[in-house]
Amino acid sequence: MIELDLALQRGEFSLELALASPARALALFGPSGCGKTSTLLAIAGLLQPRHGRIAINDHVLFDSRAGVDVATARRGLGVVFQDARLFPHLAVRENLRYGMPRGTTAQAFDDVVQLLQLPALLKRKPGQLSGGQIRRVAIGRALLRQPRALLLDEPLANLHREARVEVLEHLRGLKREFEQTTILVTHQPDEVMALADQVARIEDGRLTALEDVRTFMASAGIPVRARAAPIASKSG
Amino acid sequence: MDVLTPAETVALALSFKVSLVGVACSLPVAIGCAWLLARKRFYGKPLFEGLLLLPLILPPVVTGYILLIVFGHHGAIGRWLDAAGLSIAFRWTGAALAAAVMAFPLLVVALRNAFESVDRRLENAAATLGAGAWRIFFSVTLPLSMRGLVAGLALAFARAFGEFGATITFVSSIPGQTRTLPIALYELISTPGGEGGALRLTLVAGIVALLAGVIAALMLLRGGTRRTEVEA
Amino acid sequence: MRRIQRLAACMMIVAACTLASATAAAAPPTIFAAASLEPALDQMAHDGTLGAPAPRLVYAASSALARQIENGAPADIFISADERWMDDAAKHSAIVPSTRRDLLGNTLVLIAPAGSHATVDLARGTQSLLDALDRDGRLAIALPDSVPAGIYARQSLLHLGMWNALEPRLAMSRDVRAALNLVVLRQCPLGIVYRSDAVSEPRVETLATFPAASHKPIVYPVAIVKGHDNAASRTLLAALESSRAKAVLRHWGFTVPPDAKQAVRGETWDPIHSLRHEGGRTAQRGGSGAGGWTPMQTAIPLIPPSQAKGEDVHRKWTF
């Protein structure tokens, strides 16, 4: 359950939205500048809303009326930033392990590494990775945190075609493997289709619709059947 | 082959000891202050900064005098040190304190610049991964500021090594305890016929300073740090 | 056209001359003087003893002043706290030799912070001083290799056989006023300074006076700096030697050469006369042993004695 009720001011831009989503994977969809990234940052605790309430699976992260504002480090979230933000001085392995809770088994670590096809990269430094590889490591790092929610900020942005395909496949794989609450921020319909169960449309700092992904796809003019196929397929 | 006289060698060794200890003691305080300046906003920050830079601006003799009346016998802090048997008056530890105080501003400025150049977005990312403030500092900020830190240390060491006015005013000149290389140099140039020894010591001091400068330059100029806008 | 040009030229010359004479008249003479003379010379400048406009007074250690003058510093008159540095200046042709003379003298005393209740009897030997220093107190002196007050202190302690025991207990300062200050601030229980310093500082008390025989006579030579030998400098030099100046100097604890009209008092000083009183040693200054003091090796001297140029024993008296 994702409960968002927040009002936020950033310079001249103001954002106000309230929603409660029972979906496991929620997409915040809208054009750039509409406030979706700000929402994500507020959920992560990196931006403070003026007032409101944020709760994920009944864990209250922020409640201005009750005076609750959990520190970022204790919100138990895994954030994949648009610019990945891998630590440049640490190898891939150390990056992955950075947020891992104590007691995570080696098996769990290996599972994620396998899933994201990272074994060959473990000893490399971020400076030696391609764009797609960096994204995968960032996703793995967030996942290994065993977060109560995974926050993805435009996970496929600025990737060239092959990398997009690659990363999207991995994300789909993750969705199948883990029952992970996910909040996805994007302006790309194909990402929404591949990963989300429910879609919150945001425009100009306001929520314009909260709909099931099928409804979303229909209004985007994409046949329902296409969802099952990989993006790069030639079938139409 | 004896390049330096025994007295000069004693002074040189003492200078190294005093400078290393001084800078080492100065470092944790400088790190803390530099971090506050780089990452925190608080009331009275400009005044705080001004105070930190004071040893750089005050005439060294004045700084030495302040050290004397605070840490010397019967001083505000000195009396407690004396009572505990930890007196630093007229001891090499006093010379180390003088060196530490004089080198401190250089260290703070260098460290602050180094911390400020670390991308805050990386620190935020570390926070989302569960790292508290201390862990963020030691695992992200500090490692990424290493170049600036080393450069600052080199400069601070050179400053401590060459420290004269505050030292001789605070702990005077005592061979083997407080007569550091600069003080020995001063004594030599103040004595007719001492020019030869003075030249030798000048060369030594010059080499140390040059090494420090080269290290600092290598650290600061190679692989420039990227500054990016602060964003959440 | 021509007339205007000539007029302009004349006006410029007149202006330049006026400016030059005005500048010359406006710039007062400068005295570079040893630090210990500060209160006395300041008073003389203030009360008109040194004429008007009062000269500019620059104080520092004699070593620093001598080196500066040797390198062309704009001083008119140099007063050194010891002969060595005046000799050095003379060697570098920085002074006018014919104008050199001994201006005043001083005495060496042992001091303690006021109210310290310490008693020291120099006749009873080193132990008396060591007792006063207690467990970890230090004896404050000026640098004994370079600062005159320190040089005299070492000579005295050597002569009295106290140097070896006291050398590890010294705190050596940049100049005699810094040494005085250490005693004033109660950082050191004992110090060796000039009587002129002790007299002008109420926060210290004099415990003992070092016998004049235990060190070379403390004389402060004065000379006009080369290239500055003019009427103003000569007038100033005469003013420094006037009886009014001498009175001020005596007031501040210095000793002065006798004046023709001066009544003989306990503090007048005659270098030749007092030396003869020390058992005729003047004639044998060339060597050690028979002389008033015997320099001994210090434990770790900065300058090996073979290289040190100092302690010139052949000295011409100007009186």
Q: In order of start, what are the domains of chain C with their CATH numbers?
A: 2-105+219-251 (3.40.190.10), 108-214 (3.40.190.10)
In this predicted structure, what is the pLDDT of residue B37?
94
By Cβ distance, the residue of C300, C302, C309 closest to B192 is C309
d(CA B174, CA C64): 21
Burial B42-73 (b: 16+ CB within 10 A, else e): eeeeeeebeebeebbebebbebbbbbbeebbb
- Touching subunits of C (3+ CB pairs, under 8 Å) are B
In this predicted structure, what is the pLDDT of residue C19?
64
In this predicted structure, what is the pLDDT of residue C18?
66
**Percent of chain A whose pLDDT exceeds 90:** 47
In this predicted structure, what is the pLDDT of residue C23?
54
In this predicted structure, what is the pLDDT of residue A227?
47
Looking at residues C290-310, what average pLDDT do you find? 39
Instruction: Indicate yes or no: CB of B192 within 8 angstroms of CB of C84.
Output: yes
Min Cα distance C230 → chain B (Å) is 29
Helices (H) and strands (E) in chain B, counts: 12, 0
Residue A74 domain-assigned (yes or no): yes
Name the residue range of residue A137's domain: 2-228
- Categorize the per-residue pLDDT at C8 as very low, low, confident or very high, splitting at 50, 70 and 90: confident
By Cβ distance, the residue of A47, A75, A81 closest to B125 is A81
Span of A42-56, A159-173, A192-206 with lowest mean pLDDT: A159-173
In this predicted structure, what is the pLDDT of residue B177?
92
Is it the case that residue B113 has pLDDT exceeding 80?
yes
By Cβ distance, the residue of A81, A85, A145 closest to B130 is A145
**Percent of chain B whose pLDDT exceeds 70:** 94
In this predicted structure, what is the pLDDT of residue A228?
46
Looking at residues C283-296, what average pLDDT do you find? 36
Is it the case that residue A195 has pLDDT exceeding 80?
yes
Instruction: Indicate yes or no: CB of A73 within 8 angstroms of CB of B121.
Output: no
- Categorize the per-residue pLDDT at B50 as very low, low, confident or very high, splitting at 50, 70 and 90: very high
By Cβ distance, the residue of B122, B127, B143 closest to A73 is B127
d(CA C187, CA C243): 39
In this predicted structure, what is the pLDDT of residue B193?
79
Q: In this structure, are residues B163 and B170 in contact, taking their beta carbons and an 8 Å threshold?
A: no
Is it the case that residue C117 has pLDDT exceeding 90?
no
- Categorize the per-residue pLDDT at B65 as very low, low, confident or very high, splitting at 50, 70 and 90: very high
- CATH code of B12-221, in short, is 1.10.3720.10
In this predicted structure, what is the pLDDT of residue B2?
56
In this predicted structure, what is the pLDDT of residue C179?
94
Please give the helix or strand (H or E) that residue B95 lies within, else none.
helix B92-116
Instruction: Indicate yes or no: CB of A85 within 8 angstroms of CB of B143.
Output: no
Report pLDDT digits (tens) over B71-106.
999 899 999 999 998 999 999 999 999 999 999 999
Predicted ipTM beyond 0.90: no
- Touching subunits of B (3+ CB pairs, under 8 Å) are A, C
- Categorize the per-residue pLDDT at B1 as very low, low, confident or very high, splitting at 50, 70 and 90: very low
Q: In this structure, are residues A34 and A14 in contact, taking their beta carbons and an 8 Å threshold?
A: no
The residues with which A14 forms a beta bridge, in sequence order, are A9
What's the structural domain count of chain A?
A: 1
Looking at residues C245-270, what average pLDDT do you find? 68
Residue A235 domain-assigned (yes or no): no
In this predicted structure, what is the pLDDT of residue A223?
54
> What mean pLDDT is reported for chain B?
90
C246 CB neighbour count, 10 Å cutoff: 22
Residue A236 domain-assigned (yes or no): no
3-state secondary structure of C44: helix
Instruction: Indicate yes or no: CB of B190 within 8 angstroms of CB of C143.
Output: yes
> What mean pLDDT is reported for chain A?
87
Is it the case that residue C198 has pLDDT exceeding 60?
yes
Is it the case that residue C90 has pLDDT exceeding 60?
yes
Is it the case that residue B227 has pLDDT exceeding 80?
no
CATH number for the domain spanning A157: value is 3.40.50.300
All residues at 6 or more sequence positions from C161 whose CB lies less than 8 Å from its CB, including other chains: C125, C126
Report pLDDT digits (tens) over B131-182.
999 999 999 999 999 999 999 999 999 999 999 999 999 999 999 999 999 9
In this predicted structure, what is the pLDDT of residue A219?
80
Mutate to test the interface with C, among B68, B71, B88, B90 (most CBs of C within 10 A): B90
Q: What is the DSSP string of B190-232?
A: TSTT-HHHHHHHHHHHHHHHHHHHHHHHHHHHSSPPPP-----
Residue A196 domain-assigned (yes or no): yes
Instruction: Indicate yes or no: CB of A98 within 8 angstroms of CB of B126.
Output: yes
Residue in the structure block whose two tokens are 């048997």: B85
Q: Residue C85's closest CA among C107, C109, C60?
A: C60
In this predicted structure, what is the pLDDT of residue C185?
94
Is it the case that residue B64 has pLDDT exceeding 70?
yes
Span of A105-114, A212-221, B17-26, C164-173 with lowest mean pLDDT: A212-221
In this predicted structure, what is the pLDDT of residue C257?
82
- Categorize the per-residue pLDDT at C279 as very low, low, confident or very high, splitting at 50, 70 and 90: very low
Min Cα distance A101 → chain B (Å) is 9
Q: Residue C236's closest CA among C46, C53, C24?
A: C53
B positions 80-139 inside 8 Å of A (CB): 121-122, 124-132, 139
- Comparing alpha-carbon positions, the chain B residue that sits nearest to A84 is B125
Residue A127 domain-assigned (yes or no): yes
Classify strands C190-194 and C139-142 as parallel, antiparallel or unpaired: parallel
3-state secondary structure of C39: helix
Looking at residues C111-129, what average pLDDT do you find? 86
- Categorize the per-residue pLDDT at C200 as very low, low, confident or very high, splitting at 50, 70 and 90: confident
